[in-house]
Amino acid sequence: MGSSLVDLKNAVSHLFYTLFHPFDGFFEMKFRKKGNRKLALFLLAVYGVSSVFSTQYTGFIFNEFPLHEMRSVQLFLMAVLPVVLFIVSNWSTTSLMNGSGSFSDIFIMTCYSLTPLILFDVTTTLLSNVIILEEGPILTAFRYIGVLWFCYLVFCGLCTIHEYTVSRNILTLLVTLVAAIIIIFLVILYFTLMETVIGFLSTITTEISKRW
Protein backbone atom coordinates (compact mmCIF):
# COMPACT_ATOMS: atom_id res chain seq x y z
CA MET A 1 0.00 0.00 0.00
CA GLY A 2 2.79 2.40 0.93
CA SER A 3 4.71 1.55 -2.23
CA SER A 4 1.61 2.22 -4.35
CA LEU A 5 1.14 5.63 -2.77
CA VAL A 6 4.77 6.50 -3.41
CA ASP A 7 4.46 5.39 -7.04
CA LEU A 8 1.29 7.46 -7.43
CA LYS A 9 2.96 10.50 -5.87
CA ASN A 10 5.94 10.14 -8.19
CA ALA A 11 3.64 9.73 -11.21
CA VAL A 12 1.66 12.87 -10.36
CA SER A 13 4.89 14.79 -9.73
CA HIS A 14 6.23 13.69 -13.10
CA LEU A 15 2.94 14.65 -14.75
CA PHE A 16 3.13 18.25 -13.55
CA TYR A 17 6.82 18.40 -14.43
CA THR A 18 5.91 17.30 -17.97
CA LEU A 19 3.31 20.06 -18.31
CA PHE A 20 6.04 22.70 -18.05
CA HIS A 21 8.99 20.72 -19.44
CA PRO A 22 7.37 18.56 -22.16
CA PHE A 23 10.51 17.46 -24.00
CA ASP A 24 12.31 16.38 -20.84
CA GLY A 25 9.15 14.94 -19.29
CA PHE A 26 8.18 12.83 -22.29
CA PHE A 27 11.80 11.76 -22.76
CA GLU A 28 11.83 10.42 -19.21
CA MET A 29 8.44 8.84 -19.77
CA LYS A 30 9.67 6.88 -22.78
CA PHE A 31 13.28 6.10 -22.03
CA ARG A 32 13.23 5.97 -18.22
CA LYS A 33 9.76 4.43 -17.96
CA LYS A 34 8.32 7.15 -15.73
CA GLY A 35 4.92 7.05 -17.44
CA ASN A 36 1.99 5.58 -15.51
CA ARG A 37 -0.75 3.85 -17.51
CA LYS A 38 -3.22 3.87 -14.62
CA LEU A 39 -2.81 7.62 -14.16
CA ALA A 40 -3.19 8.11 -17.91
CA LEU A 41 -6.42 6.08 -17.95
CA PHE A 42 -7.68 8.05 -14.96
CA LEU A 43 -6.98 11.35 -16.75
CA LEU A 44 -8.87 10.12 -19.82
CA ALA A 45 -11.89 9.26 -17.66
CA VAL A 46 -11.67 12.59 -15.82
CA TYR A 47 -11.55 14.39 -19.17
CA GLY A 48 -14.80 12.70 -20.17
CA VAL A 49 -16.42 13.56 -16.84
CA SER A 50 -15.22 17.18 -17.04
CA SER A 51 -16.85 17.49 -20.46
CA VAL A 52 -20.16 16.33 -18.99
CA PHE A 53 -19.67 18.65 -16.00
CA SER A 54 -18.93 21.61 -18.29
CA THR A 55 -22.00 21.00 -20.42
CA GLN A 56 -24.33 20.66 -17.45
CA TYR A 57 -22.99 23.30 -15.08
CA THR A 58 -21.82 26.12 -17.33
CA GLY A 59 -23.64 29.33 -16.30
CA PHE A 60 -27.00 29.64 -18.02
CA ILE A 61 -26.10 32.93 -19.74
CA PHE A 62 -23.18 31.19 -21.49
CA ASN A 63 -24.68 27.73 -21.92
CA GLU A 64 -26.22 27.26 -25.35
CA PHE A 65 -26.60 23.49 -25.00
CA PRO A 66 -30.23 22.33 -24.56
CA LEU A 67 -30.01 20.63 -21.15
CA HIS A 68 -33.27 18.74 -21.68
CA GLU A 69 -31.50 16.87 -24.50
CA MET A 70 -28.40 16.09 -22.46
CA ARG A 71 -27.29 12.47 -22.28
CA SER A 72 -24.36 12.05 -19.93
CA VAL A 73 -23.09 8.81 -21.47
CA GLN A 74 -23.30 10.28 -24.95
CA LEU A 75 -21.40 13.41 -23.91
CA PHE A 76 -18.77 11.29 -22.18
CA LEU A 77 -18.24 9.16 -25.28
CA MET A 78 -18.17 12.22 -27.55
CA ALA A 79 -15.26 13.54 -25.49
CA VAL A 80 -13.33 10.28 -25.02
CA LEU A 81 -13.75 8.57 -28.41
CA PRO A 82 -11.96 11.27 -30.47
CA VAL A 83 -8.97 10.91 -28.13
CA VAL A 84 -8.98 7.14 -28.57
CA LEU A 85 -9.35 7.60 -32.34
CA PHE A 86 -6.31 9.89 -32.41
CA ILE A 87 -4.24 7.39 -30.41
CA VAL A 88 -5.16 4.47 -32.68
CA SER A 89 -4.69 6.53 -35.86
CA ASN A 90 -1.30 7.86 -34.79
CA TRP A 91 -0.11 4.42 -33.71
CA SER A 92 -1.17 2.83 -37.00
CA THR A 93 0.42 5.67 -38.98
CA THR A 94 3.72 5.88 -37.13
CA SER A 95 4.12 2.11 -37.26
CA LEU A 96 4.47 2.53 -41.03
CA MET A 97 6.60 5.71 -40.83
CA ASN A 98 9.42 4.45 -38.61
CA GLY A 99 8.05 5.97 -35.41
CA SER A 100 9.74 4.55 -32.34
CA GLY A 101 6.84 5.18 -29.94
CA SER A 102 4.76 2.22 -28.82
CA PHE A 103 0.98 2.24 -28.41
CA SER A 104 1.49 2.59 -24.65
CA ASP A 105 3.78 5.60 -25.16
CA ILE A 106 1.24 7.34 -27.39
CA PHE A 107 -1.59 6.57 -24.97
CA ILE A 108 0.22 7.91 -21.90
CA MET A 109 1.53 10.97 -23.74
CA THR A 110 -1.89 11.90 -25.11
CA CYS A 111 -3.68 11.39 -21.81
CA TYR A 112 -1.07 13.39 -19.91
CA SER A 113 -1.55 16.19 -22.44
CA LEU A 114 -5.26 16.33 -21.60
CA THR A 115 -4.45 17.84 -18.19
CA PRO A 116 -4.60 21.51 -19.34
CA LEU A 117 -7.95 20.86 -21.02
CA ILE A 118 -9.32 19.39 -17.80
CA LEU A 119 -8.00 22.20 -15.60
CA PHE A 120 -9.16 25.04 -17.83
CA ASP A 121 -12.48 23.35 -18.61
CA VAL A 122 -13.34 23.10 -14.92
CA THR A 123 -12.07 26.64 -14.28
CA THR A 124 -14.16 28.18 -17.07
CA THR A 125 -17.22 26.25 -15.92
CA LEU A 126 -16.90 27.62 -12.40
CA LEU A 127 -16.15 31.15 -13.63
CA SER A 128 -19.18 31.11 -15.93
CA ASN A 129 -21.40 31.04 -12.85
CA VAL A 130 -19.94 34.17 -11.26
CA ILE A 131 -19.14 36.56 -14.14
CA ILE A 132 -21.47 38.64 -16.27
CA LEU A 133 -22.09 38.41 -20.01
CA GLU A 134 -19.73 41.30 -20.83
CA GLU A 135 -16.87 39.34 -19.24
CA GLY A 136 -17.46 36.37 -21.54
CA PRO A 137 -14.16 36.91 -23.46
CA ILE A 138 -12.37 35.81 -20.28
CA LEU A 139 -13.90 32.35 -20.66
CA THR A 140 -12.97 32.25 -24.34
CA ALA A 141 -9.38 33.19 -23.49
CA PHE A 142 -9.16 30.46 -20.85
CA ARG A 143 -10.49 27.86 -23.27
CA TYR A 144 -7.98 28.89 -25.96
CA ILE A 145 -5.12 28.70 -23.46
CA GLY A 146 -6.13 25.15 -22.53
CA VAL A 147 -6.45 24.05 -26.16
CA LEU A 148 -3.15 25.64 -27.24
CA TRP A 149 -1.34 24.14 -24.25
CA PHE A 150 -2.80 20.73 -25.10
CA CYS A 151 -1.73 21.01 -28.76
CA TYR A 152 1.77 22.11 -27.74
CA LEU A 153 2.15 19.16 -25.37
CA VAL A 154 0.94 16.68 -27.98
CA PHE A 155 3.27 18.09 -30.63
CA CYS A 156 6.28 18.00 -28.30
CA GLY A 157 5.30 14.55 -27.08
CA LEU A 158 5.06 13.10 -30.59
CA CYS A 159 8.42 14.58 -31.57
CA THR A 160 9.99 13.05 -28.47
CA ILE A 161 8.50 9.56 -28.32
CA HIS A 162 8.78 8.95 -32.09
CA GLU A 163 12.15 10.74 -32.38
CA TYR A 164 10.83 12.85 -35.25
CA THR A 165 11.98 16.18 -36.59
CA VAL A 166 9.44 19.02 -36.61
CA SER A 167 8.75 18.69 -40.36
CA ARG A 168 8.34 14.92 -40.20
CA ASN A 169 6.05 15.27 -37.19
CA ILE A 170 3.81 17.70 -39.09
CA LEU A 171 3.69 15.28 -42.04
CA THR A 172 2.82 12.43 -39.71
CA LEU A 173 0.00 14.44 -38.13
CA LEU A 174 -1.49 15.06 -41.57
CA VAL A 175 -1.30 11.35 -42.37
CA THR A 176 -2.82 10.63 -38.94
CA LEU A 177 -5.78 12.82 -39.90
CA VAL A 178 -6.25 10.84 -43.10
CA ALA A 179 -6.01 7.57 -41.17
CA ALA A 180 -8.64 8.80 -38.68
CA ILE A 181 -11.03 9.63 -41.56
CA ILE A 182 -10.49 6.16 -43.05
CA ILE A 183 -11.13 4.49 -39.67
CA ILE A 184 -14.35 6.49 -39.21
CA PHE A 185 -15.47 5.50 -42.71
CA LEU A 186 -14.75 1.82 -42.08
CA VAL A 187 -16.58 1.87 -38.72
CA ILE A 188 -19.64 3.52 -40.30
CA LEU A 189 -19.50 1.04 -43.19
CA TYR A 190 -19.27 -1.89 -40.77
CA PHE A 191 -22.28 -0.83 -38.71
CA THR A 192 -24.26 -0.04 -41.85
CA LEU A 193 -23.57 -3.51 -43.23
CA MET A 194 -24.39 -5.12 -39.89
CA GLU A 195 -27.68 -3.23 -39.76
CA THR A 196 -28.50 -4.39 -43.28
CA VAL A 197 -27.62 -8.01 -42.50
CA ILE A 198 -29.63 -7.98 -39.26
CA GLY A 199 -32.59 -6.45 -41.08
CA PHE A 200 -32.34 -9.09 -43.81
CA LEU A 201 -32.17 -11.95 -41.31
CA SER A 202 -35.05 -10.46 -39.35
CA THR A 203 -37.17 -10.30 -42.51
CA ILE A 204 -36.38 -13.92 -43.39
CA THR A 205 -37.20 -15.05 -39.84
CA THR A 206 -40.52 -13.20 -39.95
CA GLU A 207 -41.43 -14.72 -43.33
CA ILE A 208 -40.56 -18.24 -42.19
CA SER A 209 -42.55 -17.85 -38.96
CA LYS A 210 -45.61 -16.67 -40.93
CA ARG A 211 -45.41 -19.58 -43.36
CA TRP A 212 -45.03 -22.21 -40.65
Q: What is the DSSP string of 15-63?
A: HHHHHH-HHHHHHHHHHS----HHHHHHHHHHHHHHHHHHHHHS-TTT-
Task: Quick: pLDDT tens for 59-98.
Answer: 878 777 776 667 888 889 999 999 999 999 999 999 888 8
With pLDDT > 90 as the criterion, what percentage of the chain qualifies? 58
Structure confidence at residue 68 (pLDDT) = 67
User: Long-range contacts: 84-90, Cβ < 8 Å, 24+?
Assistant: 85/180, 85/183, 85/184, 86/110, 86/176, 86/180, 88/183, 89/176, 89/177, 89/179, 89/180, 89/183, 90/158, 90/172, 90/176, 90/179
pLDDT band at 150 (very low <50, low <70, confident <90, very high): very high
Average pLDDT over residues 108-133: 92
Expressed as residue numbers, the domain containing 155 is 2-211
pLDDT band at 148 (very low <50, low <70, confident <90, very high): very high
How far is residue 157 from each of residues 27, 58, 94, 153, 160, measured CA to CA in Å? 8, 31, 13, 6, 5
How far is residue 206 from each of residues 62, 194, 195, measured CA to CA in Å? 51, 18, 16
Structure confidence at residue 49 (pLDDT) = 95
pLDDT band at 26 (very low <50, low <70, confident <90, very high): very high
What is the number of other CB atoms lying within 10 angstroms of the CB of residue 200? 10
Highest mean pLDDT among 29-38, 91-100, 137-146, 153-162: 153-162
Q: How many structural domains is the chain composed of?
A: 1
Distance from C-alpha of 102 to C-alpha of 95, rounded to nearest angstrom: 8
Q: Are the C-beta atoms of residues 164 and 158 closer than 8 Å to each other?
A: yes
Say yes or no to pLDDT of 102 above 60.
yes
With pLDDT > 70 as the criterion, what percentage of the chain qualifies? 95
